[in-house]
Amino acid sequence: MYKKILIVDDDSGVCNSLAMLLREEGYDVDATTESSEAVVLIEKDRYDVCLFDYKMKGLNGKDLLKITKNINPQCSVFIVSAMFNLEELCQKEIKSGLATGVISKPFDVEELLKKIAAMDS
Amino acid sequence: MARKVMNLIATDINRPIGDIKLNIDIANLEETILGVIEDMAPNESEVKDKEGRWYSVRIRPYRTIDNKIDGALISLIDIDAIKRSQTQLQGALSYTQAIIETMREPLVALDGDVRVLSANKSFCDTFNVHASDIKDKLLYELGRRQWDNPVLRKLLGEILPKKNYFNDFELSFDFPEIGQKTMALNGRQIKLHGKDSSLILLVIEDITERKKAEDILKRDNKTLDKMIDKRSKELIRLQMELVKSRHLSAVGTLAATVAHELRNPLADIAISIHRIKKIVKDPVVEEILTGVNGRVLESNQIINDILMYSKTTIVRYESAKINDILISSIDEQAQNFPIGKIAINEKIARTKDLIIEVDPIRIKEVFLNILHNALDAVDKDAGIIEIESDVNDSMVSILIKDNGEGIAKKDLKNITNPFFTTKAKGTGLGLVVCKQVLMLHSGSLTIKSVEGKGTTVTVTLPIHKKENV
C-alpha cells in the first residue's frame, strides 16, 4: 500500500518541491500552504506521515501535531523547520513521543527519504 | 571760703582747732598740725567733706618774716571734679580689665617697641607663660622665637604705624606637648594722647580646627570631583555599552530573520537538485549538481554561524548552581576532547551550592569554549588546567588557567573584538560571542596571557540578574 503523506508549509516553493519529490518516489501526497486547509484534510483522510512546518500563520506545526494525533494516533508526524532552536522548541513533544522527529531545513534529501521509508504504514 | 567749707565763724578765732567741729573729716588734725610744725615738713592728704566732696588738704608750716615757725597753714583745694573723673576712669579701667580677662581669646598688649606690657589669662594659659615672666620682653623673643616671623615683623613695624590695624594674619606654632597649631592674629595700634608712644593690641584666635576642616573640605572636594569624574566616565562607558548591546540586539534580530528566510529557498534548491539528479542520468550533470549541493550546505553553515551569533542576544534566566554548570562543561569537554595526560584541577569549593541567576545554556557554552581553547593550547603530556572559583557579596568569578602556549601581546587586543567572522571556533562560539554573552549578563570576560607561559581567562557574573532597561 502506498503511504499517504501530508505536507503543510507556508513557503510555496518548498511545499511544491517536496510534494513533487515525494510523488516521484511513489507516495500519495497531499500538500497545502494553509494550516486551516490542513485541518480539513486531516479530518477527512488518514495519513501515514505528516510533514508540518513549525512557523506558520494561524495554527503552527505543534498545533497541527496535536490535532492530527488526536484524530489519528498512528500517524508519524515530523516537524520540519528552518527554526534554529527547533529541538529546544519541540523538546516536550519529542520527549513524550508525540512527534516522531524534527527535521531542520535545509535537510539532507537522502536522509529525509530514508526516514519516511522507515515509517510503518 | 574757709569759713564755709570748714564751718568756721568769726568767733572761732583764737579757739583751739581741736575744739571746733569741722565740716571736713581730717583725721588727727591737731596731731598732724603739730607734726608739721615740729618736722618743719608739709603734709598732704585727700579728704571728703560731710557732703562727699573731695578736697586736697595741705598743711604747711607757717614761717614768720624772721623765718621762725609760728604755726601752720592749712590750704584746701577742691579736687572733687578731678576725683570724680578719677573714679570714673578707675571704673572704666576695671571694666576693661574684666573684659580682657574674661575674653576667651588670648590678648597681649605691647608698647611701641613691641615689648610686652601685659597679657590676659587666656594668653598665659594658651602659650603656657606667666604674665610676669614676659613683661618687658620683646614679643619676638618669646616662646623659642616662634613669634619671630618676617611678615609679622613687617606688620608690627611698618604696617601698623601707618594703617593702625591688620586682621587675619596666620601664624603656625609648634607646642611641645600639644603639637602644631595655626593662629590668626588681629592687631591694633593705639596712639596715646600727649605721648609719642603707642600701644599695640594683639588678639589671637586658634584656627587649627577650622584650618583642618578647610583642608578636609578642600581634599574632599577634590576627591568628590575625582569620584564624580570617574562616575561620569563610567556612566558614559555604560551608556555606550548599552547602545552597542541594543544595536547588537537589533542586528541579531535582523540576522535571525534573514537566516531563517534564507533556509526555505535553500531547502527548495536542495530538493530540486535531488530531483534533477534523478531525472538526468548524465555524469557531467551529476558532477555539477553535486557541486551545487555542496554550496547549499556551505550556505547553510554560514546561516548557522549567523544564527549562533544572533541567538546570544536573548538571555533566558534561570536559577542554577554555578558549580553544576562548570562540572557539566568540564565533563562534556573531557568526553569530546582527547584529554590524554592533561591534568584538570578543580578548585571550586568556594562556590559549592552557590545558586546564581543566568542563562545556563549560554553560560555553559561560554565555559565549553574557554575550556576548548585551554585544552587546545596546552601540551598533551604536561598540560595543566586549573579552574578556580570565588565569590563575594554580589559577584562570582571563575578563573580558567592553563600553562599552554599563551597569546602574543599583539593578538591579545583583537581576540575579543566584536568583529563578526563566519569562522566561529570551538563549539560554534568564539571568544567574541563569549564576551557578548557575559556582557548581556552584566558580567565580564578578561584575558591575561604570557606567550609561552600560559593564559588565564577570568569570567565574572553577578549572582542576581541585572535587568537592562
Q: Kindly report the three-state secondary structure assignment for every residue of B304-373.
A: HHHHHHHHCCCCCCEEEEHHHHHHHHHHHHHHHCCCCCCEEEEECHHHCCCEEEECHHHHHHHHHHHHHH
B209-309 — its CATH code?
A: 1.10.287
**B263 neighbourhood in chain A, CB within 8 Å:** 82, 105-106
End-to-end alpha-carbon separation of chain B, Å? 110
Residue of A nearest to B310 (CA): A84
Interface test with B, best of A8, A14, A102 (most B CBs within 10 A): A14
Tell me whether residues B271 and A17 touch, CB distance under 8 A: yes
Q: Is A83 on the interface with B (CB under 8 A)?
A: yes
Is B311's CB within 8 Å of A84's CB?
A: yes
- Cell digits of residue A27: 507516495
Task: Return the CATH number of the domain spanning residue range B313-462.
Answer: 3.30.565.10
Contacts of B309 in chain A (CB under 8 A): none
Report which of B315, B314, B317, B316 is spatially closest to residue B255, judged by C-alpha positions: B314
Partner B contacted by A17 (CB < 8 A): yes
CA B169/CA B232 separation, integer angstroms? 40
Contacts of B272 in chain A (CB under 8 A): 17
Whether the ω angle into residue B462 lies within 30 degrees of 0, i.e. cis, is: no
Question: Do B270 and A109 make contact, defined as CB atoms within 8 angstroms?
Answer: yes
DSSP letters of B81-134?
HHHHHHHHHHHHHHHHHHHHHH-SS-EEEEETTSBEEEE-HHHHHHHT--HHHH
Confidence category of residue A120, pLDDT binned at 50, 70, 90: low
Q: What is the pLDDT of residues A10-38, one digit of tens each?
A: 999 999 999 999 999 999 999 999 999 99
pLDDT of residue B428: 41
- Which CATH entry fits the domain spanning B102-206: 3.90.1150.10, 3.30.420.40, 3.30.450.20, 3.40.630.10? 3.30.450.20
**Per-residue model confidence as pLDDT tens digits over B108-129:** 998 888 899 889 999 988 888 8
H or E segment to which residue B240 belongs: helix B208-279
Q: Does B364 touch chain A (CB under 8 A)?
A: no
Residue B362 touches partner A, C-beta closer than 8 Å: no
* Spatial CA neighbour of B361 closest among B309, B325, B387: B325
Q: Copy the grid coordinates of residue B174.
A: 609648634
Choose the CATH number for B2-78 among 3.30.450.20, 3.90.550.10, 3.10.200.10, 3.20.20.140.
Answer: 3.30.450.20
Q: How far is A85 from chain B (nearest CA, A)?
A: 9
> To 10 degrees, what angle do helices B431-440 and B283-311 make?
30
Q: Where in chain B is the domain with CATH 1.10.287?
A: 209-309
Q: Are A13 and B264 in contact (CB under 8 A)?
A: yes
B267/A24 CB distance under 8 A: no
Q: What is the DSSP string of A55-119?
A: S-SSS-HHHHHHHHHHH-TT-EEEEEE--TTHHHHTHHHHHHTSSSEEEESSP-HHHHHHHHHHS
Return the pLDDT at B419.
Answer: 45
The model's pLDDT over B237-271, given as tens digits with 9 standing for 90+, comes to 888 878 877 776 676 677 777 777 889 999 999 99
Closest residue on chain B to A55 (Cα):
B260
Q: Is A97 on the interface with B (CB under 8 A)?
A: no
CB contacts, 8 Å: B300 with chain A: 106
CA distance B455 to B406: 5
Q: Are B269 and A105 a contacting pair at CB < 8 A?
A: no
Q: Enumerate the residues of chain A whose CB falls inside 8 A of the CB of residue B273.
A: 109
pLDDT of residue B420: 43
Q: Which of A55 and A5 is assigned the larger pLDDT? A: A5
Boundaries of CATH 3.30.450.20 in chain B? 2-78, 102-206
Contact A82 B307 (CB under 8 A): no
pLDDT at B361: 87
ipTM of the complex: 0.90
Whether the CB of B302 is below 8 Å from some CB of chain A: the reply is no
Nearest CB to A13 within list B268, B274, B278: B268
Chain A partners of B259 at a C-beta cutoff of 8 Å? 84
Q: Which residue of B has its CA nearest to A10?
A: B264
- Other CB atoms within 10 Å distance of the CB of residue B445: 19
> Distance from B228 to chain A by nearest Cα, in Å?
45
Dist. CA A74–CA B117, nearest whole Å: 122
Decide if A13 and B256 are in contact by the 8 Å CB cutoff.
Answer: no
Q: Which residues of A touch B275 (CB under 8 A)?
A: 17, 20-21, 24
Q: Nearest residue of B to residue A109 by CA position?
A: B271
A26 touches chain B (CB under 8 A): no
What is the identity of the amino acid at B89?
A: L
pLDDT at B252: 66
Contact status of B91 with chain A (Cβ, < 8 Å): no
Whether A8 and chain B come into contact, CB under 8 Å, resolves to no
Q: Least CA distance to A11: which residue of chain B?
A: B264
Tens digit of pLDDT at every position of chain B (469 positions): 677 777 777 788 888 877 777 777 777 888 888 888 888 888 898 888 888 888 888 988 888 888 888 888 888 888 888 888 888 888 888 888 888 888 889 999 988 888 998 899 999 888 888 888 888 889 998 878 888 888 889 888 888 888 888 899 888 888 777 788 899 999 998 887 766 678 889 999 989 888 888 888 888 888 888 888 988 988 888 888 788 777 766 766 777 777 778 899 999 999 999 999 999 999 999 999 999 998 998 888 778 777 766 665 678 889 999 999 999 999 988 877 777 788 888 999 999 999 999 999 889 989 988 998 888 888 888 889 999 999 998 999 999 999 988 887 777 776 766 544 434 443 345 677 788 889 889 899 999 999 889 999 999 999 998 765 3
- For A47-95, what is each residue's pLDDT tens digit? 999 999 988 888 888 899 999 999 988 899 999 888 767 777 788 888 8
B266–A17 CB contact, under 8 Å: no
Give the one of B263, B269, B296 whose C-beta lies nearest to A82's C-beta.
Answer: B263
Q: Residue B67: helix, strand or coil by DSSP? A: coil
Q: Is A13 touching B (CB cutoff 8 A)?
A: yes
Residue B263 contacts A where some CB pair is shorter than 8 Å: yes
